[in-house]
Amino acid sequence: MQFLVYILAYPFLWLISILPFRIFYCFSDVVYFIIYRIVGYRKKVVRANLALALPHLNDAERKEIEKKFYQHMCDMFLEMIKTMSISAEEMDRRFKVTNIDLVNEYAKKGKSVILVASHYASYEWLLTINPKIDFRGIAVYKKVANPYFDKLVRKIRSRFDTELIETRKAIPTMAQNQRDGILSMYGLASDQSPKLDRIFHSMKFMGVEVPVHTGAEMLAKKYDLSVVFVKVKKVRRGYYEATIIPIADNPKDYENFEITEKYLREVEKQIYEAPEFYLWTHKRWKHRVE
């Protein structure tokens, strides 16, 4: 059954990926109308999250953010499909990194890096920065349940020299690369809710006390990896700009959880600047600390 679903869906996904951008975004508008107006996908979750995280805004202001978010979400997931066929030249025009030299300075110092991102703007197209770095580019990801779609996701995300590893393989990979002296940059998105058996710290995120992921900090300290945050800005529809922000050059110099909190403060600033580009459909605040 999983294979049947895959072979039925694949031609449709490929057709979407080769659409000219003008038609592509017209199609996204149709998807938005279906997802938001007809299906109402996770609308209750989005509204609850916006009310919790942005209580200083009135209902009308949050409703406007809600509509813009759904439009952006449809664009973003379709843009991931677009990655199946988009050329490197076109991607370079649409996703720019303002200061890639900053992260390459770590390579000159012989330091591997953890790049922490958030589920904001185009986190999928972040993978296209790998041809521009002087590291082995590795993205840590959660395996898709359907093995055929998992293979497709890996193929899409690996088009621009990115190596994907499952979460459970992150520690062995880092340990092996350290032993072999392979300079690497590990990409992690660490702004969502952790599993209940992996909670080591909580803090206020968007004004609400919640458990937070601490894995990036723990790995950075264990393997002496510098930590940087990548802030992605949506310039206009289909165009993005990323900026690298240093978080911790020498992670062992920081108190426990200080790096985690510093990273999440950057995420907060990013969300407050333009909240419509954050992934509000996730149940980020489901485990609140009373």
Q: What is the pLDDT of residues 186-242, one digit of tens each?
A: 999 999 988 888 889 999 999 999 999 999 999 999 999 999 999 999 999 999 999
Specify whether the CB–CB gap between 247 and 237 falls below 8 A: no
Give burial (CB, 10 Å; 0-12/13-18/19+) of 34: exposed
pLDDT of residue 145: 82
Structure tokens at 171: 């520690």
Strands 113-117 and 226-236: parallel
pLDDT of residue 151: 86
pLDDT of residue 233: 96
Strands 239-248 and 226-236: antiparallel
Contacts of residue 224, Cβ cutoff 8 Å, sequence gap at least 6: 111, 250, 251, 252
pLDDT of residue 268: 97
Report the distance separating Cα 177 and Cα 181, nearest Å. Answer: 6
Q: Which residues of the chain have pLDDT under 70?
A: none
Could you give the dihedral angle defined by the CA atoms of residues 147, 151, 152 and 155, in that order, rounded to the nearest 10 degrees?
170
pLDDT of residue 243: 96
Report the distance separating Cα 203 and Cα 211, nearest Å. Answer: 7
pLDDT of residue 234: 96
Structure tokens at 115: 């790049």
What is this structure's pTM?
A: 0.92
Structure tokens at 75: 């664009």
Alpha-carbon distances, residue 14 vs 11, 95, 202, 228 (angstroms)? 5, 21, 42, 34
pLDDT of residue 249: 95
pLDDT of residue 236: 96
Report the distance separating Cα 249 and Cα 246, nearest Å. Answer: 7
- AA letter at 97: V
